[in-house]
Chains A and B, each alone.
Chain A
Amino acid sequence: MSETVVGPQPSSGTTPPLATLPPAKARPNPDRWKGLVIILIMINTILVAIIAGLQTDANIRANTANSDSQYYAVLASGELQRQGLQGNYDMTTYSRILDNIQRSLVMQFTALQQEQNGDKAGAALSTLQGQVAQAQADTAKKFSIFYQDPRYAPKGADDVPNLQSYVIDSTAQANALVAKQNAASDTYKKWSGKSDSYVAVLTILAITFFLFGIAQSVNPRLRLLFAGFGITVMVLGVGWGLVILIG
C-alpha cells in the first residue's frame, strides 16, 4: 500500500527544512451541508404531516357527504312513492266527483226532456238517478283534498280547484330532498377530488424525501445539487397543496 506524500520528494539523504514545505491542502469536510439537509428533511416531514392530515380530513368529509347523498336518495325515493300513492288517491277521488256531477247533470237534463215529451215515469227515474249521482258527488267531496283544503278548494260556486298549487305543494318535499341529495353529491365530488389530489401531493413529497436522502449520501457538491432538486420539488408540492386547500 503506497502512502501519499505531500510536497517534493526528499533527495539523496538530505532532509529539507520544514519551513520550505508547501502547506498541506485542507481536506474538504465530507459532512458539509448535512445539517442543512437535515433541516430540509424536517421541514418536509412537517409538510407531509400537514398534507396527510388534510388528506384524511378531505377523505372523511367525502365519505360523510357520500353517505348523506345516499341517505337523501333513499328518503327522496320514499317520498316520491308516498306522494305517488297520495296523488293517485286524490286524483281518483276528484275524477269520481267530476264523473258523478256530470252524470247528475245529464240525468237531470234527460228528466227535463222526458217531462217535455210527457214521459213522467221516465222523468222520475232519471231525476232519481240524477239525485243518486249528486249524493255520491257530495259525499266524495268530503274525502277530497281539492274541496276540503282551503289552499286548493274552489273560491266560488263556478270555480274549479287549484290543481296547479296542489301539484307544486305535493312535489315540494320530494324536490327539497332531491336538492339536498344533489348538494351532498356535489360536496362528495369536491372533497373526493381534493382527497385524491392530496395523495398526489404526498407522492411528490415522498420524492422529495428520496432526493434529500440521496443528498445525504453523496459528496458535498452533489449534496447541494440534490438538495436544490429536493427544494424545487418540495415547493411544487406545497404550491399544489395550497391550490387544493384554497380551491
Chain B
Amino acid sequence: MSEETPREHRLDLVIAFLIAIVSLTTALAAWRTNAVGSAAGDATRQGLIDAVKKQAAANEDWRKLYEEAAYAQSYAVTLAGVEAMEASRDTTAAAQAANMRQYLLPSIIKLSDPLGTDPKYQLKDGTYDLAMRFADIEAESPDLMKLDPQVSFALAGWYNSEQRWLMLGTVLLAISLLWLALSELGGSRMRLGTLGIGVIIYLFGLAWFFFIEALFFFLRGGAL
C-alpha cells in the first residue's frame, strides 16, 4: 500500500474541516426551516383563536340585537292596540288604554333599550334600524372587533412559502455534504472533482438560503 503524500494529507484535513462546517450549516438550516414551519403553525393557531373569539362576540351581539328587536316590536304592536282603543268612543276601552299607556308601555320599551328608546334608531315607518344598532353593539367591543384572523392566516401563508424555499436550500446543503463525503472516501482521481462540486453546491445552497431569508423578511414587513 502506498504511503499518503503530504499533499494528500493536507487535502484530507481540508475536506474534514469542510465536512464539519457544512454539517453544522446544514443542521442550522434544518433548524431554521423547522422554526419557520413552526412560526407558520403558530400564526395559523393565532388566526383560528382570533376567528373563534370574533365569532363568539358576533354571536352574542346578534343575540342582543334580536332580543332588543323583539321587545321593540312588542312595544310598537302594543302601542298600536292602545291607539286603537284610544280612538274608539268606548269609555272603558279609553280608560284601559290610558292605564296601559301609563304603566304597561314604559315597562316594555325599557326592555328594548336602547333600540326602542334612542331616536337615532327609529325609522320613518315606525320600525327600527337594526343594522345601525348592530354596528353600535359591535363598536362597544373594539378589542374584539379589531381582531382579524386573515392577518394571521396571511402571515402563516408567508411562513409556509418561505419554508418551501428554505427546504430547497437545506436539501442543497445536504447534497453538498454528500459530495464532500464522497471526496473523502473516493479514489484519488475523483477527489478534487467531487470536492469542487460539493463546495460549489454548498456555496450556492448557502447563498440561496440567505437570499430567501432576506426576501421573506422584507415581504413579511420585518417579522422574523
Q: Residues on A close to B: CB < 8 A?
A: 31, 34-35, 38, 41-42, 45-46, 49, 52-53, 56-57, 60, 63-64, 67, 70-71, 74-75, 77-78, 81-82, 85-86, 88-89, 92-93, 96, 100, 124-125, 128, 131-136, 138-140, 142-143, 216
Contact = CB atoms under 8 A, between A and B. Distances in A.
Interface string B23-43: 000000000000001001100
Nearest to A77: B55
Interface in B69-112: 69-70, 73, 76-81, 83-85, 88, 90, 93
A189 B58 CA distance: 30
B175 interface: yes
Contacts of B40: 60, 63
Contact of A140 (B47, B73, B172): B73
A98 B11 CA distance: 97
Contact of A89 (B66, B80, B164): B66
Contacts of B77: 96, 100, 136, 139-140
Nearest to A31: B187
B195 interface: no
B51 A34 contact: no
Interface string B147-164: 001000100110010011
B18 interface: no
B144 interface: no
B64 to A, nearest CB: 10
12 contacts: A41-B178, A53-B171, A56-B167, A63-B44, A74-B48, A78-B55, A82-B58, A85-B63, A89-B66, A89-B69, A96-B77, A128-B88
Nearest to A70: B48
A86 B167 contact: no
B86 to A, nearest CB: 10
Nearest to A139: B80
A45 B177 CA distance: 11
A70 B81 CA distance: 49
Q: Give me the 9 closest cross-chain CB pairs, A-B, nearest first.
A: A139-B80, A78-B55, A135-B84, A49-B171, A67-B44, A135-B80, A132-B84, A56-B167, A132-B81
Residue among A52, A96, A131, A135 with most chain B CB within 10 A? A135
Interface residues on B, range: 35 or more
A180 B10 CA distance: 63
Given A53-B167, A132-B85, 13 more contacts: A42-B178, A46-B175, A56-B167, A63-B160, A71-B153, A86-B62, A128-B84, A131-B88, A132-B84, A135-B83, A136-B77, A139-B79, A142-B125
A71 B44 CA distance: 10
B52 interface: yes
Contacts of A49: 171-172, 174-175
A144 to B, nearest CB: 9
A33 to B, nearest CB: 12
Contacts of B157: 64
Contacts of A41: 178, 182
Contact of A142 (B84, B126, B160, B163): B126
Contacts of A85: 62-63, 65-66
Given A49-B175, A67-B47, A128-B88, A136 B149 contact: no
B165 to A, nearest CB: 10
Interface in B155-207: 156-157, 160, 163-164, 167-168, 171-172, 174-175, 178-179, 182, 185-187, 190, 194
Nearest to B87: A131
A163 B78 CA distance: 26
A135 B171 CA distance: 79
